[in-house]
Amino acid sequence: MTLAETKSGSKVRIIGFRHPGAGFIRRIQEMGILPGSTVEVERNIFSGPVELFVRGTHLAIGRGIAARILVEPLNE
């Protein structure tokens, strides 16, 4: 599944990216969203950006970019 399809309050692990060569994919990796990292989905409402908690900070990621981040759900 992609980050855009996650539920608010869930924890997911990043597993990869669609179009990994794109500039914004490099940037989100530099912001700490890397394959293997665990992120908390704080806010994901039908439209608008997805808010994540990752490495101690809150990041807002546009829906289009979120749809290119592949994740797997983590069971608590």
Partner 1 sequence: MNKAFTIALAGNANVGKSVIFNQLTGGKQIIGNWPGKTVEKAEGLIEQEGLKIRVIDLPGIYSLSTYSEEEIVSREFIARERPDLVIDVIDASNLERNLFFLLQLIELEVPIVVALNQYDVLEGRGLEIDSAKLSNLLGVPVLKTVATKNKGLRELFSLAKEILLQGKKPTGIVRYGKEVEERVERLIQEIQREGDLPYPPRFVALKLLENDPLIASECKSGALLTLAKELRKELEEIHGEQAETVIISERYSVASRIAESVTRKKETLQADFTDKIDNLFLHPVGGYFILLLLLLSVFFIIFKFGSFLSDEISTLFNPLIQYLENLPLPGFLSGLLVHGLVEGIVAGLAIVLPYIAPFYFLLAILEDTGYLARIAFLTDSLMHKLGVHGKAFIPLIESFGCNVPAILGTRVMERKRDRLITSVLATLIPCSARSVIVFGLVAVFLGPIYALLLYLIDFLLIFLVGLLLNRYLKGLPSGLIMEMPRFRKPVLKIIFRQTWIRLKDFTNFALPIIVGANLVMEILILTNSIEPISRIFSPISWFLGLPAFATVALLFGFLRKELTLIMLATFYGTTNFGAILTGKQIFIFGLVTMIYIPCIATIAALKREFGTVKALLVTLGEIVGAIIIGGLLNFLLRACG
Which residues of this chain interact with partner 1, rule CB under 8 A? 16, 20-21, 23-24, 26-32, 34-37, 42-43, 45-49, 51, 55-65
CA separation for the pair 5, 69 (Å, rounded)? 10
Q: Is the dihedral of CA 31, 59, 72, 76 positive or negative?
A: positive
CB of 76 to partner 1, least distance (A): 19
CB of 56 to partner 1, least distance (A): 5
Q: Is 23 helix (H, G, I), strand (E, B) or coil?
A: helix
Between residues 2 and 51, which has the closer beta carbon with respect to partner 1? 51
CB of 73 to partner 1, least distance (A): 21
Residue 41 token pair: 């989905």
Strand 57-61 to strand 50-54: parallel, antiparallel, or no bridges (unpaired)?
A: antiparallel
Between residues 49 and 73, which has the closer beta carbon with respect to partner 1? 49
